[in-house]
Amino acid sequence: MSAPTFSWMIGGPQGSGINLGAEILARVMSRLGYYVFGNIEYHSNIKGKHSYYRLRAADRPVHSHIEEVHLLTALDEETLIGDLYHEFPGHRGHVEQVAPGGGILLEPDRVEGVRRRLDGRDVHLYVIPYGEAVHQALSLAGKGGQAHEYRIMNNTAAIGASAALLGVPFDPLAEVILSGFHGKARRVGETNVHCARFAYEYAQKEFKDLRFKLPPKPRRARDDKQIMLKGTQAVAIAKLKAGCGLQTYYPISPATDESVYLEGQQSQYNLVVLQTEDEVSAIDAAVMAAHGGVRASTSTSGPGFALMPEGLGFSAITEAPGPVVVNYQRGGPSTGLPTRHEQGDLRFALHAGQGDIPRIVIAPGDLSECFYDTFDSFNYADRYQVPVILLLDKHLAAMYATVPRFDTSGLKIDRGELFDPAQRDGRYYRYRFTESGISPRALPGQAGGIFWTTTDEHDQVGHITEGIGNRLTMMRKRMGKLELVEKEIPDEKKFALYGSPQAPIRVVSWGSTKGAILDALGRLDPEGKRYAFLQIRFLQPFPAKQLQALLRGAQKIVCLESNYSAQLAGVLREKTDIRADHKVLKYDGQPFSEDEVVAALEATEAGAGEEVLVSEGKVVSAATYGPEQVDKLVELKEKSGKMAPPMVPLPPGYNR
């Protein structure tokens, strides 16, 4: 039987390569014709802490994860039963998530603990000594006996065994594994293929009864146009396409991957990537590069964005064409949850900086929008000479999914109004008052274009003045550009309505919640008659009038977002005077699953209060759920007896 939607999970200590393994399997699933959605959860740690990667495959597009797991692949004990070696354990492992009829791939010495926890439930235990497959593969390479050192290859064995259980043919798996190894590394790739094959064959021989299979599909209609990537890659590639000339950054999770990707492309694409000493420098350098004539950008996360407000003001008052600032939100406040998801910076992005700052704030909701919105942002920056903030988050940064290949045919570069020495009438004023509020900009180095600029209030030339008439005019000039944005940028870039405009219940949200909402509504209301989903992409300027019209006549409005204080609901109320009937919130550090959205919406229909909190797949009580979970885990730990903390293997060849 093939499940309409299939869910696989691999868990293991950080540094054990679960992401590599999972992404290999994801690409195999995609090659078999499935739509795939993957996401990873990991700690702020290099080696040892529990991380896990979920994959979901279906024969229709999927945009979120589900709670159930059909095949759980464990590289360590913690994945199965939790981190019970802590004074206050943080999680209970994933055994309970495995669906009836599902299976668990695990090593022999874990079986007993898992049996106890399963308590007779219908779950198959597939016991496999990964080390054996590693050993056999290494023997072929003349390195037999070093299997313990090469435990890093256990994940390859796990992928091989998973593929066999799912009925996936071996060849595409071998191809995808090998595609990651080039040149001299090819031999390592081959050893990995052998390792996967031993595990594959072992599983084929020993394991029979997994109910969930992934047979190759007839080719997807749009098969050749699908790609698989992450949000950081979508943004990075869009920046390249947009002609970005300088990317600045200071390392921070979960933003760094984007800059590292770009660093790898520097010489190919004539892009300078500057690693600065801090985020203050990152944004200020980008502002000046924009003035200097290149398209400039910087990417960061909350703690870095917290150092950037002065740069936003700098850009705004000097009317720099940019930069494009990407904030991959993570759990706050402060250092918060460095590698976890949250949408807690909406208010901050809207208001960061002293005084009134014209800025554009855009929140893409999926990987395609990450690409197109990033591309457009550079046009907006040049055209309106304002900073543009892209609000992404950990979920978008790290999700790995199939999306239609980006269509670049309609993308046009708009550099805005530039100073043209040939058409100069009289003296050039960088901040000349114009009807639109936009003054043509010269580029340093241009003859006849000499200008001054200052972060003090200034006159049309760019010199400091505190004159009242000038101040009034300049404030309107700068802030008025937002009205132009409202007029000129088409609505389809600012928001989208999914479902019937007459649907009685309107779900309103922003950013990465889009995927889980679309999947949930597809399940709750396949016809799209009862629910409509209103996705807001432009948070500043806020499309208030259009949203008012779209929300008129709703029986019920539900705002859904990943933060504590219902920030979007607040903005909606402020700008439109519309009050959400329900605020569905999640702030446990993880993105919404499809099931959580379903559960929350069902609760709102069943008479839940104004605020609905979800966590761990269900609607929970805000007051009691947290403390209860803390107590339960301590209890579980006391019942389970002593558990050894994870042992992190030393890298191969490490001199002990």
Partner 1 sequence: MATTTAPQLTAKTYKSEVHNDWCPGCGDFGIVIALQMALAKLQITPHNVAVVSGIGCSGKTPHYMGTYGFHTLHGRVLPSVTGLKLANHRLTVIGVGGDGDGYGIGVGHFVSGGRRNLDFTYLVFNNDVYALTKGQASPTIEKGKKTKSMADSSIVEAINPVALALASGYTFIARGYALEVKYLANLIAQAIQHRGSALVDIFQTCPTYNDLHSKSWYEGKDSGQPRLYKLDESDYDPVVHDPNDRAEVAQKKAQALLKSEEPSGRLPLGVFYQLEVPTYEDCLREKGVLGHEPQARLGAVFQRDIQPLLDRLA
Helix (H) or strand (E) holding 164: helix 154-165
| 121, 186, 405, 476: residue in contact with partner 1 (rule CB under 8 A) | 405
Name which of 461 and 524 has its Cβ closer to partner 1.
461
Least separation in angstroms between CB 57 and partner 1: 17
Q: Is the peptide bond before 251 cis (omega within 30 degrees of 0)?
A: no
259 near partner 1, rule: CB under 8 A:
no
Name which of 49 and 230 has its Cβ closer to partner 1.
230
Size of the site for partner 1 (CB under 8 A): 66
* Residue 649 to residue 153: CA distance in whole angstroms: 11
Each residue 290-329 as x (binds partner 1 by CB under 8 A) or -, in order, gives xxxxxxx-------------xx--x---x-----------
352 near partner 1, rule: CB under 8 A:
no
* Residue 323 to residue 57: CA distance in whole angstroms: 38
Structure tokens at 423: 């058409």
CB 521 within 8 A of CB 599: no
Query: Which parts of 461-520 interact with partner 1 (CB under 8 A)?
Result: 462-464
Start-to-end CA span in the chain (Å): 49
176 near partner 1, rule: CB under 8 A:
no
In the numeric block, the tokens 């933003």 are attached to: 255
Distances (CA, A) of 217 to 3, 21, 76: 13, 22, 32
Least separation in angstroms between CB 60 and partner 1: 20
28 near partner 1, rule: CB under 8 A:
no
Query: Which parts of 579-618 interact with partner 1 (CB under 8 A)?
Result: none
Helix (H) or strand (E) holding 498: strand 495-499
At 618, phi and psi to the nearest 5?
Answer: -150, 170
* Residue 106 to residue 124: CA distance in whole angstroms: 10
* Residue 237 to residue 322: CA distance in whole angstroms: 18
The CA-CA-CA angle for residues 194, 195, 199, to 5°, reads: 115
Is the Cα dihedral 214, 215, 216, 218 positive or negative? negative
* Residue 398 to residue 589: CA distance in whole angstroms: 14
Name which of 69 and 294 has its Cβ closer to partner 1.
294
445 near partner 1, rule: CB under 8 A:
yes
276 near partner 1, rule: CB under 8 A:
yes
CB 579 within 8 A of CB 573: yes
340 near partner 1, rule: CB under 8 A:
no
440 near partner 1, rule: CB under 8 A:
no
CB 398 within 8 A of CB 339: no
The single-letter code of the amino acid at 283 is I
Least separation in angstroms between CB 260 and partner 1: 14
Least separation in angstroms between CB 256 and partner 1: 18
Name which of 408 and 555 has its Cβ closer to partner 1.
408
177 near partner 1, rule: CB under 8 A:
no
Contacts of 622 (CB under 8 A, 6+ apart): 611, 613
Least separation in angstroms between CB 299 and partner 1: 15
Least separation in angstroms between CB 241 and partner 1: 5
Least separation in angstroms between CB 370 and partner 1: 13
33 near partner 1, rule: CB under 8 A:
no
Least separation in angstroms between CB 348 and partner 1: 20
Least separation in angstroms between CB 416 and partner 1: 13
Least separation in angstroms between CB 158 and partner 1: 24
555 near partner 1, rule: CB under 8 A:
no
Query: Residue 441 pairs with which residues in a beta bridge?
Result: 418
228 near partner 1, rule: CB under 8 A:
yes
| 112, 209, 277, 577: residue in contact with partner 1 (rule CB under 8 A) | 277
CA atoms within 13 A on the CB side of 116: 9
Distances (CA, A) of 99 to 50, 67, 69, 103, 522: 21, 9, 6, 8, 21
Each residue 65-104 as x (binds partner 1 by CB under 8 A) or -, in order, gives ----------------------------------------
- State the residues that interact with partner 1 by CB under 8 A: 224, 226-229, 233, 237, 240-241, 243-246, 248, 265-267, 269-272, 274, 276-278, 280-282, 284-296, 310-311, 314, 318, 405-406, 408, 413, 443-456, 462-464
